[in-house]
Chains A and B, each alone.
Chain A
Amino acid sequence: MTVRALPRRLHAGTWWLWAIGLGAAATATTNPILLALILAVVALVVAARGSAGPGAAFRGYLMLALVVIALRVAFRVVFGGGFAGHVVFTLPRLPLPDWAAGVVIGGPVTAEALLAAFADGMRLATIVVCVGAANTLADPRRLLRSLPRALYDTAAAAIVALSVAPQVIESIGRVRRARRLRGSPGTGLRSVRSLLAPVLEGALGRSLALAAGMESRGYGRLGPAPTRRRRLGTTLGLTGVTLLSIGTFSLVDGALAIPWAIAVVAGGLGAGAGAVAAAGGTVGRTIYRPERWGVEGWLVGASGVAAAVAVWASGWIDPTALAISVQPLSWPALPSLAAAGILAAGIPAWVAPPAPATPDAVVASAREVTAP
């Protein structure tokens, strides 16, 4: 007997953790088979667990990913000289002056060059698709809402900014229509000034009204944490940032042994988390209907992290397996550890509860439409 999970929304953070995990896995490899595997897993989960509405948005990200690959390959074709190997075709070489020595435009284009560019573009495209999937599965505004309390003010500002931008665009349209009523064609430099004055005036008026509204609704009423806690928060925060900088730098540079570098990064992250907790830990603002992680949420997040860890570990064991081999040209290997990790990230397609139908997608609102 199969029991269907009750549709419910997972915590926005779970999906973002999952997607960032897969994205991190993608950054570590140019192996087209692994990248294709990541894309397949993302597409599977979005198809299985995305709600009906924002499918169009995900298609938009897929298109963007294709454009990224095409651009990467096109750039290599134009600037790609200097890759030895099997010549596919030859472009006329553009003669450049002496000061541009080192830049080559045109010349022979090799299969190796094309393949390397394609793999590189595919890596970027995969990251784009991962971000797109996170966007589709969990509205970033929901993520902002569930940020820790210490970051609440920043999140509130970001949410307000997100809602103000469309209003400004709308008011530009309205003023332009009104401008045509006065007989000015609405183009040219002079019309820009006549357009900006009312739009800016309106935006300024709205911001003042908003500030007054937020203040009279108690925004900022529960002040900052007591001084001692705040000092503790600041100290921890600075320590965290310092440790993180040293740690990441030595990961890249090799100044410290890898385990040490990882330990320093972990320490930095811990200090940062402590800082956030210390600054926001007082009794104060509460959150309406906080989103829960739940067991499924942890599984979803963990599966994304597992993919990242597996791919990185696999690279540690055998770095060559993660990179596409172009010189000599050969069929890419399939490292089993990395592949297993990525496949594990497909688990949410079964364990995550289905998304509830959003009324937004169902209710088509017929509001007053004033003009085109």
Chain B
Amino acid sequence: MIRFDHVSFTYPGAAAPALADVDVAVDEATLCLVVGATGAGKSTLLGTVNGLVPRFTGGTLTGAVTVGGRSTAENRLRDMADLVGMVGQDPAAGFTTETVESELAFTMEQLGMDPGVMRKRVEEALDLLGLAGLRHRRLSDISGGEAQRVAIGSVLAPGPRVLVLDEPTSALDPTAAEEVLAAITRLVHDLAITVLLAEHRLERVIQYADQVVHLGLGGVATSGDPAAMMAISDIAPPVVELARVAGWSPPPLSIRDARRAARHLELPTPPPQPSRDRGETSLEASRLSVTYGSVVALHPLDLDLEAGSITAVMGRNGSGKSSLLWALQGSGRRHRGSVTVSGQETSGLDPAAARRLVGLVPQSPADLLYMETVIAECDQADTESDGVPGTCLGLAERIVGALDTEAHPSDLSEGQKLGLALAIQLTASPPVVLLDEPTRGLDYSAKRRLGAVLCELAGDGRAVVVATHDVEFVAEVADRVIVIAEGEVVADGPTADLVVSSPAFAPQVARILSPAPWLTVRQVAAALGNPT
């Protein structure tokens, strides 16, 4: 269905090619997963399928991409629209109309489909993606998971043969991600649609894939059966890591297969609990509540954070995680209650003083960056927090490694942007550090690095709070988990107790080895005596 025939691509002005001699065929009714580290060229490869690359990006493409017999070199982007449905990383950015229903019809209107057929297709798309209840809602009022499904529905309605999805679940909580993936697999199995999908969180999708294309250094692609590819891939979900540690071959890809394999695994009990020296309370919130008009975003809550602890705040999209973080920081909206850090109230302070108490890295860290170069950004941060010149750059390089100091901040990778924003906030050396969704868009190695940095911060005696959907990350770094639903604390306790007790929040290792309370591959590897 999709044929990449010796495709090479170089961005304008780039020294090295982003894709080098990619020669891959994807058959009809296949769910093909594209994996690779950040910057390996996943989005570039996806873009070549309908001609977005190079028609919108510029650059030189050699070789040929054909979809269903149609070449992207000879057909304009708009002429591929009936064949290829493309959903980008931020689906909401591509919305062109006002309501869910009209958005679903947009592509069909452009294709000039018969109004009767169009009406029927919209109804089908509403049902297929579970959007019937949202049909009259405004696109500005729907959640991230809903937006993703609307975007898929709108390109799906005209009946394309190929669907191209770039990180469809990266912004979603585990349940919403499940919903989207369930819809996608249904399309492949019931409608024989070919799906090409890029994703960082392999643990969510690998079990559904029929084919894996791996993009390595220098844009070299290898393709094959998921199990075979996972056996050699440098990027692997925890289930595969566990298989490597336990020596299972070929590696199981689903929890079900892994549990079967794990029956013969001899492990000592109980696993060592991660312990970290707890300090005294560094942040104290009492009766803290947040309201927006008549909507209660956060019900009154008491919270103590100990110095040297890492706390994860979890909950579905819209449950009040961000509201909590901003209220703790002091500049966010607050209905009642008080938050004190080392005895000092955080709200009502002038911004420079507030920064020395609590450092917050917002959901889109790029909002914090506004200078033209990395070095200017760091100098600015030093001035803002009366730090010794060079403090910020030193911190940034400790977090993300060497940085091109003359680069524009918006040209950095997601991980580097996050690291820079974190360094800027740490320049003021606040005793409390809050991070909102830091793992969004990070690959496994960037996440590992972030985890190490957070542990280091906690080791220095800071209290760290991370709001996240990423259960694997929580299992790795957090020692306490708070689960929020509709602004109320549903559960609060040590990570090991909490994530094992609830299936939605359990990491893969816990699901495979339950009821034994193992959480991470690292623990298992240590117990088996072969550290990775």
Contact = CB atoms under 8 A, between A and B. Distances in A.
Measured as residues with beta carbon below 8 angstroms from the partner, the interface class of chain A is 35 or more
B452 interface: no
Interface stretch (A89-97, A235-243, A279-287, A309-317): A279-287
Interface in A212-245: 212-222
A150 to B, nearest CB: 15
Contacts of A358: 136
Contacts of B297: 369
B237 interface: no
Contacts of B254: none
Given A212-B52, A284-B112, A370-B323, A163 B141 contact: no
Interface string B434-453: 00000000000000000000
Contacts, number: 201
Contacts of B82: 218
Given A174-B367, A284-B112, A288-B118, A371 B355 contact: no
A166 B425 CA distance: 29
A177 B362 contact: yes
A97 B227 CA distance: 93
A372 B142 CA distance: 18
Contact of A156 (B96, B144, B317, B367): B96
B203 interface: no
Given A360-B138, A369-B297, A371-B322, A217 B118 contact: no
Given A210-B94, A369-B323, A288 B112 contact: no
B366 interface: yes
Nearest to B56: A212
Given A221-B110, A288-B108, A370-B323, A159 B352 contact: no
B189 interface: no
Contacts of A101: none
B388 interface: no
A372 B291 CA distance: 9
B516 to A, nearest CB: 36
Contacts of A166: 140
Contacts of B364: 174
A30 to B, nearest CB: 39
Nearest to B95: A163
Given A215-B56, A216-B77, A358-B136, A371 B323 contact: yes
Sorting the interface of chain B by its residue count into under 10, 10 to 19, 20 to 34 or 35 or more gives 35 or more
Contacts of B354: 180, 183
Interface in B81-132: 81-82, 84, 86, 88, 90, 93-98, 102, 105-115, 118-119, 122
B71 interface: no
Nearest to B295: A366
A79 to B, nearest CB: 44
A286 to B, nearest CB: 5
A159 B118 CA distance: 21
| Residue of A181, A285, A359 contacting most chain B CB atoms (<10 Å) | A181
Nearest to A288: B105
Contacts of B109: 285-288
Contacts of A182: 351, 355, 368, 381, 384, 424-425
A365 interface: yes
Contact of A213 (B93, B350, B385, B428): B93
Contacts of B410: 201
Given A197-B370, A217-B155, 8 more contacts: A178-B362, A194-B370, A216-B84, A218-B79, A221-B79, A221-B111, A366-B295, A371-B322
